[in-house]
């Protein structure tokens, strides 16, 4: 090995000593997304009342579940979507984060299911479903049972997942413009965060935390972005 290369490796090793994999992952994401403005997630606090402009068109759908070493990912079958400001966005994929990436009035949550949608022009919209520890939710069983299989490195297809029934009855939401929370942190994403939570039991959530105890990106500055609540 070249002495200069060896020296760089030793320097990196010295810098990384005593640092967790979580710290290194956060740093790597920050470096990969450094050129993106208006990033996600955010701490939801100050907001302005106004129309969110969201309608759901979710059907029961199958999904393929994978784990990339940090984040649980879902690839959905076609058929579900949302209408945002009169524009149809088709549901394409999802990610499950433990704990939640968004906070509301200073409160964090046990998990967050983010549902990614794309319109005909390629523009993106995310719907975030916050999940709190509580009663077992049988509607989540297909997802969390599939995560149990992930421990064995399988890539199961789950279904049907009743997405519409997973949503809270009160669909009060917060909307802002941000980015994807994983590299390349694509910008100009319309975010809708449902502020009322779904529940899942400790046993159900354990299926996710057995894979990764912390897959949440830290909150990013809101700056002057408007945050609408309705």
Rounded CA-CA distance 75/224 in Å is: 33
Q: Are residues 147 and 216 both part of a single domain?
A: yes
Alpha carbon distance, N-terminus to C-terminus of the chain: 60
Regarding predicted confidence, which is higher, 157 or 196?
196
Q: Are residues 24 and 75 both part of a single domain?
A: no
Residue range(s) defining the domain that contains residue 22: 1-32
Q: Are residues 97 and 148 both part of a single domain?
A: yes
Q: Are residues 11 and 79 both part of a single domain?
A: no
Please answer whether residues 65 and 183 qualify as being in contact, where contact means their C-beta atoms are separated by less than 8 angstroms: no
Q: Are residues 59 and 115 both part of a single domain?
A: yes
What does the pLDDT read at residue 198? Answer: 97
Q: Are residues 41 and 16 both part of a single domain?
A: no
Q: CB neighbours (10 Å) of residue 143?
A: 23
112 Cβ contact list (under 8 Å, min separation 6):
96, 97, 99, 100, 101, 102, 128, 129, 130, 131, 216
Q: Are residues 138 and 222 both part of a single domain?
A: yes
3 state SS of 31: helix
Q: What is the dihedral of CA 72, 75, 76, 77, to 10 degrees?
A: -150
Burial class (CB in 10 A: 0-12, 13-18, 19+), 60: middle
Please answer whether residues 194 and 212 qualify as being in contact, where contact means their C-beta atoms are separated by less than 8 angstroms: no
The closest alpha carbon to 101, from 128, 81, 80, 73, belongs to 128
How many distinct structural domains can be found in the chain? 2
Rounded CA-CA distance 176/227 in Å is: 5
pLDDT band at 38 (very low <50, low <70, confident <90, very high): very high
CATH number at residue 172: 3.10.200.10
Q: Are residues 22 and 87 both part of a single domain?
A: no
Q: Are residues 22 and 72 both part of a single domain?
A: no
Task: For residue range 130-153, list pLDDT tens digits in order.
Answer: 999 999 999 999 888 888 766 555
Task: For residue range 47-106, list pLDDT tens digits in order.
Answer: 999 999 999 999 999 898 888 888 899 999 999 999 999 999 999 999 999 999 999 999
Rounded CA-CA distance 104/118 in Å is: 26
Q: Are residues 23 and 90 both part of a single domain?
A: no
Q: Are residues 120 and 158 both part of a single domain?
A: yes
Q: Are residues 116 and 25 both part of a single domain?
A: no
What does the pLDDT read at residue 19? Answer: 52
């Amino acid at each position: 090995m070249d002495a200069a290369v060896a020296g760089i490796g030793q320097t990196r090793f010295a810098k990384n000593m005593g640092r967790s994999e979580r710290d290194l992952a956060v740093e790597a994401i920050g470096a990969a997304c450094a050129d993106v403005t208006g990033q996600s997630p955010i701490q939801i606090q100050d907001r302005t009342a106004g129309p969110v402009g969201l309608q759901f068109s979710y059907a029961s759908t199958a999904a393929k579940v994978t784990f990339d070493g940090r984040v649980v990912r879902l690839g959905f079958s076609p058929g579900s979507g949302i209408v945002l400001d009169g524009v149809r966005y088709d549901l394409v994929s999802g990610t499950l984060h433990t704990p939640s990436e968004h906070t509301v009035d200073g409160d964090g949550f046990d998990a967050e299911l983010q549902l990614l949608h794309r319109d005909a022009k390629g523009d993106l919209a995310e719907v975030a479903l916050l999940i709190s520890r509580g009663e077992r939710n049988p509607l989540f069983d297909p997802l969390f049972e599939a995560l149990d299989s992930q421990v064995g490195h399988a890539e199961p297809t789950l279904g049907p997942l009743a997405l519409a029934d997973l949503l809270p009855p009160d669909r009060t939401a917060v909307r802002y413009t941000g980015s994807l929370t994983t590299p390349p942190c694509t910008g100009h994403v319309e975010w809708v965060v449902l502020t009322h939570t779904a529940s899942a039991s400790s046993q159900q959530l354990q299926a996710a935390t057995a894979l990764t105890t912390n897959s949440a990106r830290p909150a990013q500055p809101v700056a002057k972005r408007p945050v609408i609540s309705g």
